[in-house]
Amino acid sequence: MSDFGEYIPYDARLWSGESAAEVHNAFPGLWAQTCREAQREAGRDGDVVFWSRSASPTSPRWATSFWAGDQLTVWDAYDGLASALRGMLSGGLSGMSVTHADLGGYTMIDDPGLKVLRSKELLFRWMEMGAFSDSIFRSHPGNLPNRSAQVYSDDESLLVLSRTARMHAALWPYRKQLLQRAAARGTPPLRYTFYEYPADPVAWNLSAQFLLGPELLVAPVLHPNVSTVRLYLPRGRWMHLWTERVIEAEARSGNGSGSWIDAHAPLGRPAAYFRLPLTPTTQQALKELQMAASFTP
């Protein structure tokens, strides 16, 4: 974890003679460069990965990965689960194509006037999303580990961890192709819907769903106590991951060319759809995801 990098005091005196104000915005990139050069000098460039929290325009040249920072252990789009998704999606458009978030969030508060503690439901839903969205599947105990739900809290939590980690692993052959394209061209594996469907006006207003590459669409549960999500399928044929039901998405009303649907998303089965026709890689991923979600030790 290559934390920080965004802090440089404005009264700092730099070896180059430049003012700290002039270097301020470039400093995260210099920090990432320093970490990468240290990795190379240690002879570990091929087998060590570090992830950066801060970034500047040059950071993607140096950092091997990024992460979305220290979200509150809440659901919302201001600094919670939904904000982590938006941060990763927007980061991908800015060159931070290999990214992830702390599963379950990080920042908690336990004061008499304000309590923000991680619930089991939030942790489970965050792991579900991360199985599909994150390049690295990594949990975090948070800043108050003894007062919050953890992946090791009980047998149910360990089972959810096992299943979601297996989902993440099931996507490796597909994700590997996306990461190779990211390394070659900067193409983000995690994408806003409009990235693949720029001519669809509805796609430009979607921030609660995402595409993993061009062939897998996911709408994570971003609110507590719900098991249904509303999502938009761009025009085409889509197969529901869990039931293999095929949906022909086409415009019936509104401005878009696709279809709005209400998808059942019980715990452990997030709303996910593969674009048809399936490729050998996505066919394999579909079967292995189904097996992972049903895993029983």
Q: Looking at residues 71-99, what average pLDDT do you find?
A: 96
DSSP 115: E
The length of the chain in residues reads 297
C-beta of residue 132 within 8 angstroms of C-beta of residue 212: yes
pTM for the predicted model, two decimal places? 0.95
How many other C-beta atoms are found inside a 10 Å radius of the C-beta of residue 296?
6
Instruction: Note the pLDDT of residue 253.
Output: 61
Q: How far is CA 88 from CA 50, 81, 95, 135, 243, in A?
A: 17, 11, 11, 10, 28
* CA–CA separation, 274 and 237 (whole Å): 9
Instruction: Inform me whether the pLDDT recorded for 29 exceeds 70.
Output: yes
Amino acid identity, residue 277? P
Instruction: Note the pLDDT of residue 46.
Output: 86
Strand 228-233 and strand 109-111: the pairing is unpaired
Give the dihedral of Cα atoms 133, 2, 139, 169; nearest 10 deg: 50
* CA–CA separation, 177 and 187 (whole Å): 11
Instruction: Inform me whether the pLDDT recorded for 53 exceeds 80.
Output: yes
Q: What is the pLDDT of residues 172-190, one digit of tens each?
A: 999 999 999 999 999 999 9
Q: How confident is the model at residue 255 (pLDDT cuts 50, 70, 90)?
A: confident
Q: What is the pLDDT of residues 8-20, one digit of tens each?
A: 999 999 999 999 9
C-beta of residue 56 within 8 angstroms of C-beta of residue 96: no
C-beta of residue 247 within 8 angstroms of C-beta of residue 234: no
Q: How confident is the model at residue 107 (pLDDT cuts 50, 70, 90)?
A: very high
Q: What is the pLDDT of residues 265-287, one digit of tens each?
A: 999 999 999 999 999 999 999 99
Which tokens belong to 31?
Answer: 């920090």
Instruction: Note the pLDDT of residue 256.
Output: 80
Q: How far apart are the first and last CA of the chain?
A: 31
**Letter string b/e over residues 135-147, b meaning 16 or more CB atoms within 10 A of that residue's CB:** bbbebbebebeee
Strand partners, 191: 211
Q: Any idea which residue has 């996507």 for tokens? A: 171
Instruction: Note the pLDDT of residue 254.
Output: 65
Strands (E), 15-64: 51-52
C-beta of residue 243 within 8 angstroms of C-beta of residue 271: no
Q: Looking at residues 194-211, what average pLDDT do you find?
A: 96
Using DSSP's 3-state secondary structure scheme, residue 87 falls into helix
Per cent of the chain over pLDDT 90 is: 94
Q: What is the pLDDT of residues 109-166, one digit of tens each?
A: 999 999 999 999 999 999 999 999 999 999 999 999 999 999 999 999 999 999 999 9
Least confident of 58-62, 218-222, 289-293: 58-62
- Active-site residue set: 3, 6, 70
CATH of domain 68-293: 2.60.40.1180
Domain range annotation of the chain? 68-293
Please provide the average confidence, as pLDDT, over all residues in the chain.
95
